[in-house]
Amino acid sequence: MLAPECSYTEAERATLLNVARESIEQGLKSGRSLPVRLHDYSEALQRCQASFVTLEKSGQLRGCIGTLEAYRSLVEDVAEHAYAAAFRDPRFPPVSPQELPLLDIHISVLTPASPLTFTSERDLLAQLVPGRDGLILQYPGHRATFLPSVWETLPGPGDFLNHLKAKAGLPIDFWSDQLTFQRYTTIAIP
């Protein structure tokens, strides 16, 4: 569950969305992300927090970059990830100036991940909460995550897990005692 200090006002949410868009605009102009002056932002946005920034165009994924572990302020994290989602996601070409007004920006602020204890794949699936849980899969040489928003397109726990395995480069029917999973939740903006 999210701690109370992890909630954000409507003004803070709007600020984060503006920072993300301005960072993409800055990237188009200079090839760099928006420089952030921390003292210009609220204490909540200065806290060390992990985030993902997802870009969509016409309802389709256009870029998504983030981190699972917090190591800098949320506002800096959002500025860097918005820039990276627009220009460094290897699945897509860099965003063009013509695309900028067509982009929908979504920010996911992550809680710290906690390990899941399970005895089997069935036990793991029974513990997942669709729509709430983000999931990190780890296996030697393989790692992948799905944000909670992925439940919108993969609402069944079995499908969610199988697609996560595929994303990690593993067969969907793969299972091993060396698999580990961690769960986290997010605050979605907007």
Q: Where are the domains of the chain?
A: 4-110, 114-185
Q: Which two tokens stand for residue 105?
A: 């920006």
Q: Which residues pair with 54 in a beta bridge?
A: 64, 106
Whether residue 5 is predicted with pLDDT greater than 60 in this model: the reply is no
What are the structure tokens assigned to 38, written together?
A: 């921390």
Q: How many helices (H) and strands (E) does the chain have?
A: 5, 8
Confidence of residue 7 (pLDDT cuts 50, 70, 90): confident
**d(Cα 138, Cα 13) in Å, to the nearest integer?**
31
- C-alpha dihedral sign at 70, 71, 75, 80: negative
Check whether 20 has a pLDDT greater than 90.
yes
Question: In degrees rounded to 5, what are phi and psi of residue 180?
Answer: -125, 150
Rounded to an integer, the average pLDDT of 22-34 is: 98
pLDDT of 124-143, one tens digit each?
999 999 999 999 999 999 99
- Does domain 114-185 bear CATH number 3.30.1490.150? yes
Query: Which ranges constitute the DSSP H helices of 31-156?
Result: 43-46, 74-87, 121-127
Q: Six-digit token pair at 187?
A: 């605050």
> 126-131 — which CB contacts under 8 Å span 24+ positions?
126/157, 127/183, 128/157, 128/160, 128/161, 128/183, 130/155, 130/156, 130/157, 130/160, 131/155
pLDDT above 60 for 160: yes
pLDDT, tens digit, 9 for 90 and up, residues 65-91: 999 999 999 999 999 999 999 999 999
- pLDDT at residue 44 in the model: 96
Question: Confidence band (pLDDT; 50, 70, 90) for 6?
Answer: low
State the architecture of 4-110 in CATH terms.
Answer: 2-Layer Sandwich (3.30)
Q: How far is CA 5 from CA 1, 133, 188, in A?
A: 12, 19, 15
Q: Are 127 and 115 in contact (CB under 8 A)?
A: no
% residues pLDDT > 70 (the chain): 97
Question: Nearest to residue 186, comparing CAs of 129, 107, 72, 109?
Answer: 109
